Chain A
Amino acid sequence: MASKKLSLQSAIMISLAGGLIALSLFFPWWGMHFIAPQYPEGLDIVVYPNKLAGDIDIINGLNHYIGMKPFSEKSFPELAYLPYVICAMSIFTFVVAWMRKKSWLYVLIAIFVFAGLLGLYDIHRWLVDFGTNLDNNAPIKIQPFVPPIWGENRIANFVTNSYFSTGAYMIGVSFLLMLFPLWKERKK
């Protein structure tokens, strides 16, 4: 029974998941949008699996007033290896699709859930680090803060909005695609 292969349909769905995971490399995963009276058009931090984009220099320049450490691609070692992790995940997903074995699929889903939670924890960890380790010498003293991973927050004259972006949604959809075979191959 265990040796019974997953259907072709399921294999295609899992392959699609693998494709989406690979594709997500080229899209932003997460971001934060800052709005202030002087910046009605907003400032952005946009996080890709391998790089930061947006108005990093300007945000760093402003953050020094509250004593926040400047951040750059160098401050996040994840950006160096995350692409490899994602590639490996994608390849492994394709392997599972090729094998068409339910047991392998369970392993894939387990790794996926684990990695996802780890990722969320990692973002949170950095938010805590940057929001709470503020320099005491800063011209403006504010209470340490932890911006949420998702949603709105207010710091001084800025309203920030954290959000998941295209890449993260692709990962979400690929997860749904992985779950599809579980429903499709259910015992009738």
Chain B
Amino acid sequence: MKKKVVSAISGLAVGILASTVFFGNFSTEQTQSTAAAKTNAEKVYVPFGEKDEYYLFASGGHSGQMFIYGVPSMRRIRTVPVFSLDSATGYGWDKHTKEMLGGYTWGDLHHPAFSETNGEYDGKYMFATDVANSRAAVMDLKTFTVKDIINVPNTSGPHCAAFVTENTEYLFLPTRFSVPLGNKYESLDDYSEKYRGVMSAVTFDEKKQKLSIAYQVALPPWSYDLSDAGKKISKDWAVITTYNTEEATTNLEINASKEDRDFIVLFNWKELEKMVKEGKYDNVDGQKMIFPEKHKGAIYLVPVAKSPHGVDVTPDGKRFIASGKLAPALTVFSFEKAFKAIENKDFVGERNGIPILRYESVMEREVNPENALGPLHTQFDDKGMAYTTMFISSEIVKWDPNTGEVLDRVPVQYSPGHAVAAEGDTVSPDGKYLVSLNKLAKDSYLSVGPSHPESMQLIDISGEKMEVIQSAPVDPEPHYGQMIKADKIKTIEVYEKDEKNPNAVYNQKDARIVRKGNEVHVYGIAMRSKFIFDAKAKRPDVIEVNEGDKVVIHLTNIDLDEDITHGFAINKYDINIEVQPGQTNTVEFVADKPGTYPLYCTNFCSALHQEMTGYLLVKPKQ
């Protein structure tokens, strides 16, 4: 009998052991060695299997794209097309992206901005503006794809954007170029009377994933350069820099640099919102346009050293920092002092009906690092210290906005425009890293001829002293960036099936071609390693149409598997689209060229990718 007990117990023991082996978790947390002991190489090395700590979104400038980098490795992870065609992802060929681009083939992507909740990046959306064609875009960070692009009327070149308010209530788009309302023809001799620098307040509907213009403000005909929304005590306010308050219409290099002072526009967007509610606006081309000379009380001017570029609000929301880009000095302004000056009507005059606050009443201090020149843009660390790029003296200056004390300086190669710190424009910057976005690379990298890449330099800002620890070339041309903690972004790997989508086909047997008059609608699938357009046909991977037919191809990638993206291209028809795993995408064209056109999968998908082909046969007209 004893034997039986032993066997019963041992049987149980085996069961428990086996289940432990199968279900137990024996992995252990790896402990990191202290950062202090690391060399620069160790600080930036991210071995296979580990991931970067931050995403860096670098604006792609006139490439019209957004560049996604990992920090600290500074490896480029992806290029996301926003305002320009991109055949690598079929962006601009499929129906949705083609309609979004609206016929434009390129854009000039300037300042990117994350959506925010309580002044913190929430990792949900990225906004960007197009200086070339006056557009704004929103990118969904679940898929890193652009969901909507909006054209902004009455304005031209929202360089001064985008910046979002503390809870993404608005995305403000002030403009670099002033134009007549409605972009009408007006003589430049009438510049001061007929031209306006219109700022747009854009809202984003998260449910519909649509941007729209809430209202516009007809600011004076100046150039608006950069901007920042207030935080905490200043959250209802925003600041934007201006130049060419001289209202010059030619040779701006000389004529817009004449006056010693330009202005910071300080405005209260809650007041503007109230004006719109109270009907204090004019209708201009279907837009609600506020004219500040008619409706006062929301906008003020603060004198600033001439031709300023950046204006940046400190993380505590108490100060804003701006500097003339030709001047040596940085100026710290106080929101509290500005509010008091407004209350006391401490004005020194008016421009275009907008009150000018007394400089001395708003300015807190001027900071003048020795021999520093060309202060452009400021970021902050976790202790509230400021890091300002010096374009002309080619360096980053670290300083204390509370005391004006210069703490450290580090040369960068060469001529930094913007810098971006880890969550460096939020209410709680992370410190750790700063990337200097340098306009000139010169001989930093292997030569590729006269046209050079730009350069991004990673600076460790965790210690008292800054240290340049890595350098990475980048295509033209990052103007500003945003750096976000990697775990804030939650991507999807595969599009979920949407059984309600009439264009989607999830079962290969349902693939079909439907003719409606001279329109041919294809409901096809792509899978490793074939296309099926018509499951019942003798050759399921062939589309046969007549010359002149309108062809609409809906293609669903039924490989619901990570990283199995298919492409779809038709030779000589200038068509190439992408279908991501689980996605249904549509392309439309007119089969105006008779003949035989091979079609194939452009995105390498499998061992038999090369065989993933078919034909478009276009029967000539009789």
Contacts of A165 in B (CB 8 A): 22
Interface segment among B12-20, B190-198, B376-384: the answer is: B12-20
Residue among B5, B11, B22, B608 making CB contact with A65, cutoff 8 Å = B608
Q: Which residues of chain B are within 8 angstroms of A37 by Cβ–Cβ distance?
A: none
Q: Is B4 an interface residue (CB 8 A)?
A: yes
Cα separation A176 to B16 with both chains bound (whole Å): 13
Evaluate contact between B15 and A169: CB separation under 8 angstroms: yes
Contacts of B558 in A (CB 8 A): 57, 61
Instruction: Confirm or deny: A179 has a beta carbon within 8 angstroms of a beta carbon on chain B.
Output: yes
- B: interface residue count bin: 20 to 34
Min CB–CB distance A61 → chain B (angstroms): 6
Q: How far is the CA of A65 from the CA of B528 in the complex (A)?
A: 9
Indicate whether A139 reaches chain B with its CB closer than 8 angstroms: yes
What distance in Å separates the Cβ of B201 from its nearest Cβ neighbour in chain A? 45
Bound together, the chains give a CA A168 to CA B24 distance in angstroms of: 17
A81 interfacial contact with B, CB 8 Å: no
Total contacts A-B at CB 8 Å: 40
Q: What's the least CB distance linking A23 to chain B, in Å?
A: 15
For residue B497, which residue of chain A has the nearest CB? A57
B1-47 interface (Cβ within 8 A of A): 1, 4-5, 8, 11-12, 15, 18-19, 22-23
Q: 0/1 per residue, B220-235, Cβ < 8 Å to A?
A: 0000000000000000
Question: Any chain B CB within 8 A of the CB of A155?
Answer: no
Q: Which residue of B lies closest to A188 (CB)?
A: B1
A65 to B608, CA, bound (A): 9
Is B8 a contact partner of A183 (Cβ separation < 8 A)?
Answer: yes
> A163 in the interface, Cβ–Cβ < 8 Å?
yes
Chain A residue at minimum C-beta to C-beta distance from B527:
A61
Report yes or no: A163 in contact with B22, Cβ–Cβ below 8 A. Answer: yes
* B1 vs chain A, min Cβ distance (A): 6
Q: Is B561 an interface residue (CB 8 A)?
A: yes
Is A158 close to B, CB under 8 A? no
Q: Which of B97-126 contact A (CB under 8 A)?
A: none
Interface contact A169-B19, CB-CB below 8 Å: yes
A169 to B23 Cα, complex, angstroms: 12
A176-B11, A176-B12 given as contacts; is B19 within 8 A of A166 (CB)?
A: yes
Interface code A162-186, partner B: CB below 8 Å = 1, 0 otherwise? Answer: 0111100100110010011001001
What residues of chain A lie closer than 8 Å to B608, measured between beta carbons? Answer: 65, 139
Query: B8–A180 contact, CB under 8 A?
Result: yes
- At the interface, yes or no: A58 with Cβ under 8 Å from chain B? yes
Contacts of B527 in A (CB 8 A): 61
Nearest opposing residue in chain B for A43, CB measure: B561
Name the A residues within 8 Å of B22 (CB-CB). Answer: 163, 165
- Supply 19 further A-B pairs (C-beta < 8 A) apart from A61-B558, A139-B608, A164-B18: A55-B561, A57-B560, A57-B561, A58-B560, A61-B528, A61-B559, A61-B561, A62-B528, A65-B607, A65-B608, A139-B611, A169-B15, A169-B19, A172-B15, A173-B12, A173-B15, A176-B8, A183-B1, A183-B8
Q: What are the 3 A-B residue pairs with the smallest beta carbon separation, nearest first?
A: A58-B561, A183-B4, A169-B19
Can you list 5 A-B contacts with CB-CB less than 8 angstroms, sorted by A residue number?
Answer: A58-B561, A65-B607, A176-B11, A176-B12, A183-B5
